Amino acid sequence: MLKFVTVPRDMPEKRDASVRKQDFSEIYAEFAAAKAEEQSARCSQCGVPYCQSHCPLHNNIPDWLNLTATHRLEEAYAVSQSTNTFPEICGRICPQDRLCEGNCVIEQSGHGTVTIGAVEKYITDTAWENGWVKPIVPDMERDQSVGIIGAGPGGLAAADYLRRAGIQVTIYDRYDRAGGLMTYGIPGFKLEKDVVMRRIRQFEESGVEFVLNCNVGEDLSFDAIRGRHDAVLIATGVYKSRDLGGPGAESQGIVRAIDYLTASNRASNFGDTVEEFESGELNANGKKVVVIGGGDTAMDCVRTAVRQGAESVKLLYRRDRQNMPGSQREVANAEEEGVDFVWLSAPLGFSSGPRSAEPSDASPLSAVHGVTVQRMRLGAPDASGRQAPEVIEGSDYVEDADLVIKALGFEPEDLPKLWNTDGLEVTRWGTIRAEFGSGKTSLDGVFAVGDIVRGASLVVWAIRDGRDSATAILDYLDGEAAAIAAE
């Protein structure tokens, strides 16, 4: 260990942009064993590991780096898996530059952070290759059951911990495949879908029952799910897109990011036939694309559009590069792939009409063909402490666009109304009101985790919530069992 003074930071080889933008495969190669051991050996094994404390899961990062550096990889996997249901997924998609790696002690001292994410990915990919990842087999089966609504990372993490305790678990999800945004929201170049699907198969082999294509409130009532199980966990995530107004906002060709990414993932990664993709409605091929937003979803959209063969791809964001919420690593990848970032700009409205004057053109008159952009500058800090953008009067101009993608974030759906459920309290933001740490809601035996409680957040935080709530659910079930035994 402690080789950070003599061994420089090194990442797995990244495919050249001219090559990788032709497909949806992941852009980073895998570490070789010797390179993973070398990079792990750079860890300083500091007394206060800030990498661990700044990880939402508090992963034992120094321990599994040490084990990797000393050729004890199976033990490294066991340590990694003990706190994280999906280490191979977090190693791929976590914003390490803002979390563990961004707080590495040797990074602060100017030696370059340990490549924690790449090593985490390497450990678990190697574990899968060597058959170390096994179905969950609890020491004892229990007759109590938990129904989980939502097959995303929060719900799946809770299912993992509940099954290890012997609880019978059924997961209900509106989509035809489990995984939530890991399956349909995150593009393959960041997270190849076989990585998610093999975890789903592990859950199935572990006895978790999946009820897919099930829209709660329509196909099955929330009350019916409560009646089937001893406890219920709500882990639906947030899928309602924030809207965008202005003249022409209803024009055809202005689409939601979630619809665009879902269609792309279905068509490009699973080979599904998607009508909207085939018709070109949700396909950027040959189009001038403008994406509006500054988060990781916006990064996913611009990089997807490049791979679909867009004529040009531009991103509008109302603040500057230093103040955007998305990962700087993702911004750099997008720039390498030819995305044009238009900083300090915001949409004012949209122009529409026929795409050409040819009589044969079948495009509707309401098809978008431009975005009216207003230039911004940064003024005084807002309530969050970030500098608030201000409009520069008279600076408007029109950006040509055949496809506009709104990536403005997500809001919660009105679950009490959708599910016709009384007594399920929500906050003023529409998220479910739940007890911090446990996820207990206002309804007895009902818990909630992830984005439906936090608002749109990171996969790693959903995993943390699922893990914590599973512990609270076990305590609740133990209390129920004790009460029955005492009668």
Contacts of 278 (CB under 8 A, 6+ apart): 267
pLDDT, residue 354, reads: 65
Q: What is the mean pLDDT of residues 390-404?
A: 95
Please list the residue range(s) of the chain that carry CATH number 1.10.1060.10: 3-129
Let me know: does 202 contact 137? Beta carbons within 8 Å: no
Q: What type of residue sits at position 270?
A: F
Instruction: Write out the DSSP string of 109-152.
Output: TTS----HHHHHHHHHHHHHHTT-------SS--S-EEEEE--S
Q: Angle at the Cα of 84 (from 235 to 202), degrees rounded to 5?
A: 75
What are residue 220's DSSP bridge partners? 216
Tokens representing residue 305 in the block: 């559009």
pLDDT, residue 67, reads: 97
Residue 273 CB coordination number (10 Å): 8
pLDDT, residue 358, reads: 45
Contacts of 97 (CB under 8 A, 6+ apart): 327, 328, 329
Give percent helix, percent strand, percent coil of the chain, each to the nearest 5: 35, 15, 45
The pLDDT tens digits for 85-140 are 999 999 999 999 889 999 999 988 888 999 999 999 999 999 999 999 999 999 99
Q: What are phi and psi of 183, to 5 degrees?
A: -90, -50
Q: What type of residue sits at position 170?
A: T
H helix runs in 253-386, sequence order: 257-264, 275-278, 296-307, 328-336
Q: Is the pLDDT of residue 388 over 70?
A: yes
The pLDDT tens digits for 34-87 are 999 999 999 999 989 999 999 999 999 999 999 999 999 999 999 999 999 999
pLDDT-based confidence at residue 407 (cuts at 50, 70, 90): very high
Please list the residue range(s) of the chain that carry CATH number 3.50.50.60: 145-238+412-486, 246-409
Give the percent of the chain with pLDDT over 90. Answer: 85
CA pair distance 334, 243, nearest whole angstrom: 24
* Topology (CATH level 3) of domain 3-129: Fumarate Reductase Iron-sulfur Protein; Chain B, domain 2 (1.10.1060)
pLDDT, residue 328, reads: 87
Residue 242 gets which letter from DSSP?
Answer: P
Q: Which residue has the tokens 């409605």?
A: 281
- Tell me if the domain spanning 145-238+412-486 has CATH number 3.50.50.60: yes
pLDDT, residue 66, reads: 96
Mean pLDDT score of the chain: 94
Give the percent of the chain with pLDDT over 70. Answer: 97
Q: Is the pLDDT of residue 360 over 50?
A: no
- Tell me if the domain spanning 246-409 has CATH number 3.50.50.60: yes
Predicted TM-score (pTM) above 0.85? yes
* HSE of 33, CA atoms in CB hemisphere, 13 A: 8
pLDDT, residue 365, reads: 53
Q: Is the pLDDT of residue 359 over 60?
A: no
The pLDDT tens digits for 271-325 are 999 999 999 999 999 999 999 999 999 999 999 999 999 999 999 999 999 988 8
CA pair distance 422, 143, nearest whole angstrom: 28
Q: Is the pLDDT of residue 355 over 60?
A: no
- Integer angstrom CA distances of residue 365 from 252, 288, 315, 351: 9, 18, 25, 11
pLDDT, residue 5, reads: 82
The pLDDT tens digits for 222-257 are 999 999 999 999 999 999 998 888 899 999 999 999
The pLDDT tens digits for 180-195 are 999 999 999 999 999 9
More confident residue, 482 or 72: 72
